Amino acid sequence: MAITKLMREVTTLYENGTTIDEIANKYNISVGSVFKKIRKTQRANRIPASTPKPQPSEHGPKFTISTRRARTWDLAKIKSGIDEFVAIHGVMPTSADFTNANKLPSARNVQRMFGGLEQLRKQLGYKEQNFTKGGLRQVIAHESNLRGLGAEDAFEPLLIEKFGEPYVHVQKRYYKGSKNRYDFFVYAKNRVFGIDIFTTSRLEYISNNVRHKVLRYKNAPAELSIFFVLIGEEYKSEDLRKITATIKELGEYPNMSVFTEIDFLTLIESFESLRLPEYMIGLDTIEY
């Protein structure tokens, strides 16, 4: 994607601390247009998030994230970033937004600093505290949707918020002698399960995708649940059920099942997470 001069200028101003509103006024464009230009430039050039110099604050504890340049977060700074996000999008930021937004700590670091986004929102006094309860469509509805960000990158913070970072493993081999790696392998209370994410441009390709995955995991232990998660808002639950009902191979392995992204996120609401060790919450120094 070609990066225009205006996109570079807007991104540079934003990285140097200029607010979205100030940039919009300077160039006489909407705040939404400013945000899109910044996101497109950052994605094209893989620009890292800006790193403000640590400043003393009287607004709650500070958390220094260990990077090439130090970044200090306090509650006032995080609240300012959330309020700016809400002003642009009209919705509260989700886990994926925290990970990808420029002026917010990543969901991984929020988990370590506060014990998760729900606890952070509670400390800041926001009514909407848990976006895995009843607001699942909002998680994937706006610009930071799963497909746009990359399904795995977007799923990881959602799983971490639900189950805790120590219990969410990426690209993990589970059983001895296997060369297969799950996109995610999760330890929850009284269960473990693997997740394999996939997408396709046409409905008729789903059957072949699923058959291939069944063959890939057919030697996995029968007690291990394996979820094949189809990414794409255009795919409906009923369409997927009709297609998978015709896949004979899938019926031979009751531990394997196929879900749309929304149905899967709804499913794991009922899963109980393991208790996060106390030393994982409230650390002053975070590995970024």
Q: Measure the CA–CA gap between 274 and 189, rounded to whole angstroms.
A: 5
The answer to whether position 106 is within a domain reads yes
The answer to whether position 249 is within a domain reads yes
Least confident of 90-94, 114-118, 207-211: 90-94
Q: Are residues 43 and 58 in the same domain?
A: no
The answer to whether position 204 is within a domain reads yes
The H or E element spanning position 194 is strand 191-198
- What pLDDT is stored for residue 228 in this prediction? 95
Q: Are residues 173 and 226 in the same domain?
A: yes
- What pLDDT is stored for residue 59 in this prediction? 43
Q: Are residues 123 and 173 in the same domain?
A: no
Structurally, the chain folds into a number of domains equal to 3
Q: Are residues 182 and 258 in the same domain?
A: yes
Q: Are residues 87 and 140 in the same domain?
A: yes
Q: Are residues 82 and 141 in the same domain?
A: yes
Least confident of 112-116, 172-176, 204-208, 223-227: 172-176
Q: 132 pLDDT exceeds 60?
A: no
DSSP 277: P
Q: What is the pTM of this model?
A: 0.49
Say which residue, 2 or 220, is predicted with more confidence: 220
Q: 98 pLDDT exceeds 50?
A: yes
The answer to whether position 89 is within a domain reads yes
168 forms bridges with which residues in the sheet? 186
Q: Are residues 204 and 260 in the same domain?
A: yes
Q: 253 pLDDT exceeds 90?
A: yes
- What pLDDT is stored for residue 128 in this prediction? 57
* Highest-confidence segment of 122-136, 146-160, 265-279: 265-279
Going by pLDDT thresholds of 50, 70 and 90, the confidence category of residue 144 is very low
259 forms bridges with which residues in the sheet? 229
Q: Say how many C-beta atoms besides its own lie within 10 A of residue 281's C-beta.
A: 15
Q: Are residues 209 and 266 in the same domain?
A: yes
The answer to whether position 154 is within a domain reads no
Q: Are residues 88 and 40 in the same domain?
A: no
The answer to whether position 93 is within a domain reads yes
Q: 145 pLDDT exceeds 60?
A: no
**Secondary structure (3-state) at 226:** strand
In whole numbers, what is the pLDDT of the chain averaged over residues? 74
Q: Are residues 170 and 266 in the same domain?
A: yes
**Residue ranges in 133-205 assigned as alpha helix (H):** 136-139, 146-149, 151-163
Going by pLDDT thresholds of 50, 70 and 90, the confidence category of residue 36 is confident
| CATH classification of the domain holding 24 | 1.10.10
Q: Are residues 138 and 216 in the same domain?
A: no
Going by pLDDT thresholds of 50, 70 and 90, the confidence category of residue 152 is low
- What pLDDT is stored for residue 107 in this prediction? 78
The answer to whether position 40 is within a domain reads yes
Least confident of 20-34, 118-132, 249-263: 118-132
**Secondary structure (3-state) at 44:** helix
**Secondary structure (3-state) at 174:** coil
Strand 71-73 relative to strand 285-287: parallel, antiparallel, unpaired?
A: unpaired
196 forms bridges with which residues in the sheet? 228
* Highest-confidence segment of 134-138, 171-175, 248-252: 248-252
Q: Measure the CA–CA gap between 193 and 38, rounded to whole angstroms.
A: 37
- What pLDDT is stored for residue 90 in this prediction? 62
Q: By residue range, what is the domain housing residue 105?
A: 53-145+276-288
